[in-house]
Chains A and B, each alone.
Chain A
């Protein structure tokens, strides 16, 4: 399945882009997608699928947009 990934802040810098489309195996969850892309990073991230916050255990579907949110720093 094809999933659009969004990166912000430290993740955007590490990946060198703010968005990319990747091919992931069926059954991939938000958290396993993160571990696949950022192995061993050990950063506590939050996940948003199609702009709604979801737990990391959420399974992805073809065409989803998955955003990885590193710890927030607004204010």
Chain B
């Protein structure tokens, strides 16, 4: 059951993985999560 998301993630081309990751970060930033530097 919990292997499915991992398998789906691994099936993606690295370019799509980076798009998913950056959209996730953008979504978190949009709802108010702040990342300091």
Pairing of A with B: no
Residues of chain B at the chain A interface (Cβ within 8 Å)? none
Residues of chain A at the chain B interface (Cβ within 8 Å)? none
